[in-house]
Amino acid sequence: MKRVRVLVSGRVQGVFFRWTCASLARGRGLGGFVRNLPDGRVEAAFEGADEDVDAMVAWCRVGPEHARVDEVTVEPQEPRGEREFVVSG
């Protein structure tokens, strides 16, 4: 079980990044969130089984079809026991 915070920059807003991310994360049973930031980046947190969290981080490096991912930063965090994955911002 682990949790990471991910910041994704590039053309990642207005390209269904959040909704695709949430669908994939929920399909893997992860907790956490995804949201747009005012500076144009997307922020996400994934919590759950190591392999599922790693798979979502790998997906963030590519994004959905119309996205252009320029940079991804990953920061380990302490798990919080979140079971639901939410979309905001």
Active-site hit among 18, 28, 35, 68: 18
Other CB atoms within 10 A of residue 3 CB: 20
The yes-or-no answer on residue 18 being catalytic is yes
Sequence-distant (6+) residues with CB within 8 A of 70 are 9, 10
Q: Which residues contact 13 (CB under 8 A, 6 or more apart)?
A: 36, 40, 42
> Which one of the listed residues 5, 11, 28, 36 is annotated catalytic?
36
Catalytic (active site) residue 3:
no
What is the set of active-site residues? 18, 36
